[in-house]
Structure 1
Amino acid sequence: MNVLFVCSRNQWRSPTGEALFRKHPGLNVRSAGTSAQARRRVAANDLIWADLILVMETKHRERLRAEFPRAMVGKTISVLDIPDDYRYMDPELCDLLERAVTQVLSQVMQRA
């Protein structure tokens, strides 16, 4: 399964998600940001590649839908509700991501 983690600037949250799940069996992961100042800006090809898109906030989902309407058709997207309050690999951020992503993956696998 190809999983794309998305936050605003691809600086703290989405790269942490990518790092945490990089070696998870059965997952290929990437991260990107929605902002023009993102370290790695999300592109239509990322969305096409992804089987599952995990965004940190509702605004990220809405921005993806607005900027890439064709690439978002039929995509599974989940809002993790993780605020921009953490640094890269912050232990609390890691815990939040592990719990939220594990729950989403479980739900996605049940539907498959």
Structure 2
Amino acid sequence: MKKILFLCSKNKLRSPTAESIFANVEGWEVASAGISHDAEVHVSLEDIEWADYIFVMEKNHKKKLSNQFGKALNRQTLISLDIPDDYEYMDDALIKILKNKVPSLVR
């Protein structure tokens, strides 16, 4: 079972969309959270330690994550998807981008 964590800023639009569309992929266990202090669901140390793959939506999320959890980020594959905060929850264009990018990055 691959454990995949999707992160964006506030856990309102991009990462919950990713969690929703990949929730039923066989062999994947998925979750989402936000990096900002005012996120709907704030990422925790437990989330980081649980994950095999961590997908962040923007490069600056990678930096923030390293600042917050640097010592815990030692075995996970950490990937920036470079998806700007330009999409609504379950936006068709966002779903297409996620489906085109994510599966090929999970081994």
Q: How far off its partner does 1:36 sit?
A: 0.7
Amino acid at match of 1:11: K
**Distance in structure 2 (CA, Å) of the matches to 1:75 and 1:62:** 15
**Distance in structure 2 (CA, Å) of the matches to 1:102 and 1:68:** 25
Deviation readout 1:51-81 (Å, 9 max, x if unpaired): 0000000111111111011211222111101
Contact 2:52–2:75, Cα closer than 8 Å, also in 1: no
Hey, which bits of structure 1, 4+ residues long, moved more than 2 A? Answer: none
Amino acid at match of 1:62: K
The answer to whether residue 96 in structure 2 is matched with residue 102 in structure 1 is no
RMSD between aligned residues: 0.7
* Helix, strand or coil at the partner of 2:70: coil
The aligned residue for residue 6 of structure 2 is: 5
**Count of aligned positions:** 106
Correspondence 1:78-97 to 2 at 5 A: 78-97=79-98
Q: Which runs of 5+ in 1 are unaligned?
A: none
TM-score by length of 1: 0.92
Identity of matched residues, %:
42
Deviation readout 1:16-66 (Å, 9 max, x if unpaired): 000000000000000000001100000010000000000000111111111
**Distance in structure 1 (CA, Å) of the matches to 2:29 and 2:103:** 15
